[in-house]
Amino acid sequence: MTEEVKAPKKEKIPRQKMPEQPATERRRNFQEVPYGYTPELAMHEAERCIQCKDPRCRQGCPVEIEIPAFIKCLKEGDFEGAIRKIWEKNSLPAVCGRVCPQEVQCEGMCILGKKDAPVAIGNLERFAADYQREKGKQILPPKAPATGKKVAVVGAGPSGLTVAGDLLLKGHEVHIFEALHGPGGVLLYGIPEFRLPKAIVAQECNFLERMGAKIEVNSVIGRSETVDELLEKFDAIFLGVGAGLPVFLKIPGEHFIGVYSANEYLTRSNLMKAYSFPEYDTPIVKGKNVATFGGGNVAMDCARTALRLGADHSYIIYRRSMAELPARTAEVHHAEEEGVEFLLLNNPVRFLGDEATGRLTGVEVLKMELGEPDASGRRRPVPIAGSEYTVDIDTAVIAIGSGSNPLLTKSTPGLALNKWGYIVADPKTGKTMKPRVWAGGDIVTGSATVILAMGAGRMASNSIHDYLTMGW
């Protein structure tokens, strides 16, 4: 039976740390940073959960995993039971266990966190998924009887894969169209190997295929086929194409060789495996002095990638201070441990380059100070006049967010777009203005996190299922 918070009589177990590669080693390799829990560590950590009657952690999960229930299974050593419980709500647990910002979601809500460290829910989810994949029996969750309805999912990223997983369980036929040559979206091209091994992404996608999903790669919907053509063949369509338009700084010198958008830098390194050049054919500039502009998780990924590609100095150049850095604290810590240098309160003015070779040689930056809070509630950075100085760099990565890629939206009449070009969709159902078409993830909200895209996918799949079974 469940225990109440007030009565933890047994000896307090501290939050179990996940063993990880030492910073001095990992800063030069692409292997995953944390090693994962052993079964013993996982069971030990699972014991910390007090099995609240009204679990707050579950409210903090965008896909509403039955967290106490799966943790209970782990505690009892029923690892298969744990993964089955998770699968009811989440088809990408190995991914979520690694990249969700648990500290502001499930773990942020955990009652233990009030006085002590919260239960390591993310680590436990990761363990359950990894154990199943590596050591478990080949099992699949039970599927509802076939409905004969067909759904097209455009984009094999976090939102689309979630929609696919949900609708397969409910007995619908799912066909996923992906523009790149492999499924996963940002999980494949964006998040680096050392945070999310690509073999795991492939296996999560393979899981969906074993569940019955058809995944068609190299399909650029909007070009190879239009949404209207898909509507002739499918009962419903989900658009989860991501934001996917690079944003540049719009300062002089962005044409110099060595200046990358974060999308290009990460796509070369992750999707094309440029870190293994020349074994893999795609090259990347392996800079000695690399500056990444921006302060989000993508910026941290770029700065840490630069170190692994052999940089002597990898800088984060950000116009506000450490307190305003939007990246997860854990990511900033990992970056600091590995030797990323933070040039805070600095704003780039122009790139400098060798006009003859076209190569980047430096960036002129202006020092900033914090003024009054702006619309975002954060203190606005104000330039300090005359404080310009030059940082010598041979590679620059611009990681200041992304915009809406118009390739699909422009070729789809009937979709309503907002002023930034994102698809207008009902925030509760994901329904767009175009009949039988739903949308979710970054192409609706602008760039956000993997799990928020998955949450949007969950809402859309519920609405699609209602439509397919009951009509509008």
Partner 1 sequence: MFEIVERQELAQGTIISNWIKAPKIAAKAKPGQFVILRANETGERIPLTMADTDPAKGLINIIYMVVGKSTALFKTLKVGQGYLDVIGPLGQPTHLEKVGKVICVGGGTGVAVLHPITRGLKQVGNYVYGVIGARSKDLLIMEDRMKAASNELMICTDDGTYGHKGFVTDKLRETLQKDKDIKLAVCIGPVPMMKFCCKVTEEFGVKTLVSLNPIMVDGTGMCGCCRVKVADKMQFACVDGPEFDGHQVDWDELNLRLRSYMVEEKVSYDQFKECHGGGKCSCCS
In the bound state with partner 1, the residue whose beta carbon lies nearer, of 201 and 285, is 285
Of 223-252, which residues contact partner 1 (CB under 8 A)? 223-225, 244-246, 248
In the bound state with partner 1, the residue whose beta carbon lies nearer, of 252 and 373, is 252
Residue 424 as a binder of partner 1 (CB under 8 A): the answer is no
Question: Least distance (Å) from partner 1 to the CB of residue 230?
Answer: 13
Taking residue 370's Cβ as centre, other Cβ atoms within 10 Å add up to 16
User: What is the maximum span of the chain, computed from C-alpha positions, in angstroms?
Assistant: 75
Among the listed residues 173, 193, 254, 331, the single contact to partner 1 using CB under 8 A: 254
Q: Do 92 and 164 touch, CB atoms closer than 8 A?
A: no
Among the listed residues 69, 111, 211, 217, the single contact to partner 1 using CB under 8 A: 217
- Taking CA atoms, 410 is separated from 69, 363, 416, in Å, by 45, 36, 10
Among the listed residues 96, 191, 230, 272, the single contact to partner 1 using CB under 8 A: 272
Given the structure tokens 């002739």, which residue do they identify?
Answer: 232
In the bound state with partner 1, the residue whose beta carbon lies nearer, of 224 and 469, is 224
Among the listed residues 26, 195, 268, 431, the single contact to partner 1 using CB under 8 A: 268
Give the dihedral sign, CA 142/144/148/152: negative
In angstroms, rounded to a whole number, what is the distance separating the alpha carbons of residues 431 and 121?
32
Among the listed residues 111, 117, 211, 220, the single contact to partner 1 using CB under 8 A: 220
Candidates 151, 239, 158, 163; CA nearest to 201 is: 158
Among the listed residues 22, 142, 145, 278, the single contact to partner 1 using CB under 8 A: 278
In the bound state with partner 1, the residue whose beta carbon lies nearer, of 263 and 432, is 263
Interaction mask 177-206, partner 1, x per CB under 8 A: --xxx-------x-----------------
In the bound state with partner 1, the residue whose beta carbon lies nearer, of 105 and 445, is 445
Question: Least distance (Å) from partner 1 to the CB of residue 191?
Answer: 15
Count the residues of the shown chain that bind partner 1, applying the rule CB under 8 A.
Answer: 39
Torsion of CA 214, 218, 223, 225, to 10 degrees: -20
Question: Least distance (Å) from partner 1 to the CB of residue 385?
Answer: 28
Name the 3-class secondary structure at 5. Answer: coil
Candidates 85, 92, 75; CA nearest to 37 is: 75
In the bound state with partner 1, the residue whose beta carbon lies nearer, of 405 and 449, is 405
Residue 405 as a binder of partner 1 (CB under 8 A): the answer is yes
In angstroms, rounded to a whole number, what is the distance separating the alpha carbons of residues 356 and 341?
30
Residue 39 as a binder of partner 1 (CB under 8 A): the answer is no
Candidates 359, 94, 285; CA nearest to 207 is: 94
Of 340-399, which residues contact partner 1 (CB under 8 A)? 357-358
Q: Is the peptide bond before 278 cis (omega within 30 degrees of 0)?
A: yes
Name the 3-class secondary structure at 420. Answer: coil
The token pair that represents 226 in the structure block: 């239009």
Among the listed residues 21, 203, 206, 282, the single contact to partner 1 using CB under 8 A: 282
- Taking CA atoms, 386 is separated from 2, 126, 347, 349, in Å, by 64, 50, 13, 12
In the complex, the residues that contact partner 1 under the rule CB under 8 A are 179-181, 189, 217-220, 223-225, 244-246, 248, 254-255, 257, 260-261, 263-264, 267-268, 272-273, 277-283, 285, 357-358, 405-407
